[in-house]
């Protein structure tokens, strides 16, 4: 009789409702814990933010139009926004629901985090559905060399991020920025995002400023000394209104120490060196003397090649997310903030405030996140390449 009742119940009674998805998932890795909120798409299916998930796992995310490439643990996943498909190598696989864009952020089904990644990396990732806890098991997986982080980076790296200007030094006023927004605000907002992105990837970060204060120009690069691998100064370019094309020129470029001194690199150096007027109060002659002192030992800088390598990677990564022109890497021996550097150093002009499209991109939350992600990806890529080249340790171990 009991058997008959059991069969009858199975035929008549509806199946039990699926277990509700969690409000958030905790991702625990050797780098710390991150709580990722679970949202719902228009069908009610649970979704999670792509960049937050991959960043927490030490991975990288880049966008080219509607294509999204995300990599983690040596594996690359390629998604097409608005579709439930993703590609791994030569395989085209199916998601529970499509990747979607919401509030300028990308989301994948919760299933990707709780099922796909743990199944693909059985020895590295584990998901506990009862606790809504995703765990990275340190030191496992065939793609990780002994002692490296899951993204292939050796631990112990530090980078100095310099949000240009600040405090009484506003930088350029930003012709097409919203009222009250100046270069100093945009560089700080993006600089803090770069810090967060790098820390999530296992890189320690030293900031030259974290609020609206003016850090002396000549003290910024020296903050990247012992234990520091790279100095990256963030800026916004602007053209003088005397140029006929000052509103139409747009794009991004990176400057490093060198002696090419093109006309445009000299223009940028002159513009950025304006900050010295906030520090030197003894007149123009004193300023000229100070610059002469800074520049006299330029030829002795030993990091030109490393600076160039990192700058090229930054340009390549920005090209994937920036619709402006890739103007390239330029050299100048007249840029004060770089010529006091004791490590590889570069200044990134992230766009033109005198161009409407560039200005909108740089001050928008989505644009700032894209720029920060691209810069962090490039920096990590440079550090991994350097680790492979020298076979050990961080750059900070060189020349001590």
Euclidean distance between CA atoms 147 and 396, whole angstroms: 18
Task: Give the range among 141-145, 182-186, 260-264 with minimum mean pLDDT.
Answer: 141-145
pLDDT surpassing 90 at residue 210: yes
Secondary structure element (H or E) that encloses residue 36, with its range = strand 32-37
Degrees to nearest 5, angle at CA 306 with 237 and 77: 80
231 vs 17: CA distance, rounded Å: 54
Per the model's pLDDT, the better-predicted residue between 272 and 40 turns out to be: 40
And the tokens for 109?
A: 């089904």
Mean per-residue pLDDT, 94-123? 89
pLDDT given at position 60: 85
Query: Would you tell me the crossing angle of helices 183-200 and 356-363 to the nearest 10 degrees?
Result: 50
Q: How many CA atoms lie within 13 A of 283 on its CB side?
A: 1
What is the CB-side half-sphere exposure of residue 11 using CA atoms within 13 A?
6
Distance from C-alpha of 12 to C-alpha of 228, rounded to nearest angstrom = 68
Residue 177 pLDDT: 95
d(CA 53, CA 296): 47
**What pLDDT score does 1 carry?**
47
User: What Cα–Cα distance (Å) separates residue 97 from each residue in 19, 37, 326?
Assistant: 18, 17, 35
Region 97-106: mean pLDDT is 90
Retrieve residue 224's tokens: 């990247």
Confidence of residue 114 (pLDDT cuts 50, 70, 90): very high
Query: Of the ranges 35-49, 119-133, 138-152, 314-328, which one carries the lowest mean pLDDT score?
Result: 138-152
Q: What is the mean pLDDT of residues 274-291?
A: 57
Predicted confidence (pLDDT) per residue in 8-19, tens digit: 344 444 444 444
User: Over 70: is that where the pLDDT of 330 sits?
Assistant: yes
Q: b/e for 192-203, b at 16 or more Cβ within 10 A?
A: bbbbebbebbbb
Tell me which CATH homologous superfamily contains domain 158-397: Zn-dependent exopeptidases (3.40.630.40)
Instruction: List the one residue out of 175, 178, 182, 153 whose CA is nearest residue 57.
Output: 153
* 287 in Cβ contact with 361 (< 8 Å): no
- Rounded mean pLDDT of 84-96? 87
Residues of the chain with CATH 3.30.457.10: 19-136
**Residue 119 in 3-state DSSP?**
helix
Q: How confident is the model at residue 285 (pLDDT cuts 50, 70, 90)?
A: very low
Domain range 19-136, its CATH number among 3.40.640.10, 3.40.50.300, 3.30.457.10, 3.20.20.370: 3.30.457.10
Of the listed ranges 12-16, 94-98, 201-205, 303-307, the one predicted with least confidence: 12-16
> In the chain, which residues fall in CATH 3.40.630.40?
158-397
| pLDDT over 60 at 113, yes or no | yes
Enter the tokens of residue 284: 């123009």
CB-CB contact of 54 with 72 (8 Å): yes
Q: What is the pTM of this model?
A: 0.63
pLDDT above 60: residue 304: yes
User: Per-residue pLDDT tens for 60-76?
Assistant: 888 888 899 988 877 88
């Amino acid at each position: 009789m009991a058997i008959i009742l059991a069969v009858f119940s199975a035929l008549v009674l509806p199946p039990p409702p699926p277990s509700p998805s969690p409000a958030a998932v905790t991702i625990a890795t050797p780098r710390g814990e991150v709580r990722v909120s679970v949202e719902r798409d228009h069908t009610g299916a649970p979704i999670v933010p792509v960049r937050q998930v991959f960043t927490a796992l030490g991975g990288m995310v880049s966008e080219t139009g509607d294509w999204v490439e995300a990599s983690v643990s040596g594996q690359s996943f390629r998604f097409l926004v608005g579709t439930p498909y993703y590609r791994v190598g030569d395989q085209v696989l199916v998601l529970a629901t499509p990747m979607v864009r919401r509030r300028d952020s990308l989301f994948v089904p919760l299933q990707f985090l709780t099922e796909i990644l743990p199944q693909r990396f059985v020895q590295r990732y584990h998901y506990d559905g009862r606790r809504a806890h995703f765990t990275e098991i340190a030191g496992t997986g065939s793609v990780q060399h002994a002692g490296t982080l899951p993204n292939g980076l050796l631990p112990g790296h530090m980078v100095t991020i310099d949000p240009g200007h600040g405090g009484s030094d506003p930088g350029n006023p930003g012709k097409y920025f919203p009222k009250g927004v100046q270069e100093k605000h945009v560089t700080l907002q993006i600089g803090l995002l770069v810090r967060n992105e790098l820390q999530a990837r296992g890189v320690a970060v030293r900031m030259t400023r974290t609020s609206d204060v003016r850090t002396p120009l000549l003290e910024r690069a020296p903050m990247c000394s012992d234990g520091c691998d790279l100095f990256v100064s963030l800026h916004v370019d602007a053209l003088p209104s005397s140029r006929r094309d000052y509103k139409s020129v747009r794009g991004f470029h990176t400057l490093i120490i060198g002696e090419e001194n093109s006309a445009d690199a000299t223009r940028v150096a002159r513009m950025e060196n304006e900050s010295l007027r906030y520090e030197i109060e003894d007149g123009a002659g004193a300023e000229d003397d100070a610059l002469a002192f800074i520049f006299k030992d330029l030829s002795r800088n030993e990091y030109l090649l490393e600076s160039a390598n990192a700058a090229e990677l930054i340009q390549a990564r920005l090209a994937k997310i920036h619709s402006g022109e890739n103007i390239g890497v330029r050299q100048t021996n007249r840029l004060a903030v770089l010529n006091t550097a004791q490590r590889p150093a570069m200044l990134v002009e992230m766009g033109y405030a005198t161009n409407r499209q560039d200005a909108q991109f740089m001050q928008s939350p989505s644009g700032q996140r894209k720029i920060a992600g691209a810069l962090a990806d490039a920096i990590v890529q440079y550090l991994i390449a350097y680790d492979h080249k020298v076979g050990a340790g961080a750059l900070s171990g060189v020349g001590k």
